[in-house]
Chains A and B, each alone.
Chain A
Amino acid sequence: MSMKRKTNLSATLALLPTWLVAAVVFIGTMAWSINLSFTNSTIFPSSSYVGLAQYAKLFSSVKWLASLHNVLIFGVLYVGGCLLLGFLLAAALDRKIRFESAFRTIFLYPYAMSFVVTGLIWQWMLNPTLGIQASVRSLGWESFVLDWVVNRDVAIYALVLAGVWQGAGLVMVIALAGMRGIEAEQWKAARIDGIPVWRIYVSIILPQLGPALAAAGMLLAMGVIKTYDIVVAMTNGGPGNATEVPAKFIMDNLFGRQNLGLATAGATVLVLGVIMIVAPFRYAMHMRSKAKGAC
């Protein structure tokens, strides 16, 4: 047996646990869940197949439709808000600002905290009787209203606010790194042509940050689909169904209401959602694997 063969065997053996995880967990359990979504399982898995009945039931459920609607609104505003605020912060910090690293630290710290923490902080800030609303009213602005957490029509925006507060710093870091990678010559040339600074950012810098911002946007979008902790902590889906989200609907049916079939159908829809987000992105960024010799 040659040396090369022996060491390659070691490499294969070293990867064995990961192969096991990939096969059993990532493929096996997913296949099991998807399979369950075609059965009439409730508390226990059953093997009587009902075709797409669970999906029909899912899409006639008011709670599920509300959660899709909510996650869509939340997703667009959260990703858009993070990208916009993050880009603006990065552009501002790119202008030779004093105390830049202090600013950076302040804008990014929420990202280090748990979504549960973020949810609870904002639940408190937006508390209608004791929070910001009460403080502003006591300053003399009696009609000031900031009751987002308890108001059915705007509760979803409270989640967006908390989400953007947590996520904008991430976009700022990525955008700032991209801006620092752009050559100074481009700046010089543009300034000589007399183009105003804001135009340079919009027409010259922004297009070059495209890939980096797209990556950040995808990262945030993946987070949107998984949105769960922040909702549980901040509003628990209420008032009514105003902040229900798909991930929570699935968890409730999986462990609370014991509707296995319905929950796995919901989870399968989520997976399809991820594929819809990732596929175009992957296609556009088509992975260029570097050709490289082996050891």
Chain B
Amino acid sequence: MARLQPNGPKPTQITAGRIGLYVFLLVAVLFFSLPLYTMVVTSLKTMDEIRLGQIFSLPSKLDFSAWATAWSGACMGTVCVGIRSGFWNSVLITVPSVALSVFVGAVNGYALSLWRPRGAKVLFGLLMAGGLIPYQIFLYPMVRAMATIGLYNSLAGIILVHVIFGLPLVTLLFRNYFVSVPEELCKAARVDGAGFWRIFFEIMLPIAVPMVVVVSMLQFTGIWNDFLLGLVFAGRDNLPMTVQLNNIVNTTMGERTYNVNMAATILTALVPLAIYFLSGRWFVRGIAAGAVKG
């Protein structure tokens, strides 16, 4: 991404236009931040306070009991163990999926851009097409295939599925990155007698560390936030947090405990938000790289 340099004239005095500009921005800030604020204050209220229907009011006193319930006691149907297990499931699914898909994608990008063996163009085209197609067309045969190899409804199975469906984007990002690496670097290493793998591990991977970070973050948020694949392939014992969250909120019997629901929702969003707020610039870079495809 290019360095962000503001252009346009320097403002000299406060004009009606400038005031209008800031008003617009402040209204936008309200629109974007109110839902988050509402979530947080709702999660800290008691149900009695919530029933007053003052969604924007601050809680009378900080009550963290809804958080405790959301974490370890909220009910999914008749099972009341909270969203804790979903959190650990998401960790167990996401970490290996990201590591594997980033590694395979980096090797792919490197091989496709710097070696270009026979059929590389065809493979890349197939991958890009595969990445655009809605998952629904793959689901049923994938379920059958996973069942055949004994991985349906297992942790290994959902990880494999995430790696497979992550390949197009990850390969594309690494290919675009390695295309800009001068091939002389590679050629010089060849003259010194290094082969395919040695060049990859000793030269290309170290060069690509920034890209590895960007892609890992993009994949991490993407896989953590996945709902559909987890629902279909993970199985009851490995349901990711997003699926459990939806079960907690949308399958309750009787009165909804909004404070617990909101606490569970925040907990589910916490990891991607932490990644985003702690490394905003990298995250933005990943989005920009992923958006400007082709």
Contacts and interface: CB of A to CB of B under 8 A. Distances in A.
Given A92-B25, A117-B245, A30 B133 contact: yes
A22 to B, nearest CB: 4
Question: DSSP class of A's interface residues: helix, strand, loop or mixed?
Answer: helix
Interface in A229-259: 229, 232-233, 236, 247, 250-251, 254-255
A22 B53 contact: no
B111 A114 contact: no
Nearest 5 interchain pairs by C-beta: A134-B53, A26-B130, A10-B196, A114-B225, A29-B141
A114 B115 contact: no
Contacts of A122: 35
A260 to B, nearest CB: 6
Interface in B14-70: 17, 21-22, 24-25, 28-29, 31-36, 38-39, 42, 50-51, 53-57
B115 A254 contact: no
Given A270-B134, A295-B187, A260 B140 contact: yes
Contacts of A110: 32, 35
Interface of A: 3, 6-8, 10-12, 14-15, 17-19, 21-30, 32-34, 36, 85, 88-89, 92-97, 100-101, 103-117, 120-125, 127, 129-132, 134-135, 137-138, 165, 169-170, 173-174, 176-177, 179-184, 187, 191, 197, 212, 215-216, 219, 222, 225-226, 228-229, 232-233, 236, 247, 250-251, 254-255, 260, 263-264, 266-268, 270-271, 274, 278, 282, 285, 287, 290, 292-295
B103 to A, nearest CB: 11
8 contacts: A94-B8, A114-B225, A181-B2, A187-B8, A219-B291, A222-B132, A251-B228, A267-B134
A179 B53 CA distance: 43
Nearest to B122: A22
B113 to A, nearest CB: 8
Interface stretch (B73-81, B150-158, B280-288): B280-288
Given A18-B108, A116-B227, A103 B29 contact: yes
Contacts, number: 308
B7 A179 contact: yes
B99 interface: no
Question: DSSP class of B's interface residues: helix, strand, loop or mixed?
Answer: helix
B292 A215 contact: yes
Contact of A22 (B1, B36, B126): B126
Given A14-B111, A21-B164, A112-B273, A282 B7 contact: no
A107 B27 CA distance: 11
A123 B5 CA distance: 39
Contacts of B3: 180
A79 to B, nearest CB: 14
Contacts of A111: 287
Contacts of A129: 53
Given A36-B140, A114-B269, A26 B133 contact: yes
A212 B126 CA distance: 24
B213 interface: no
A290 B34 CA distance: 46
A130 B55 contact: yes
B137 A18 contact: no
A112 B221 contact: yes
A117 B268 contact: yes
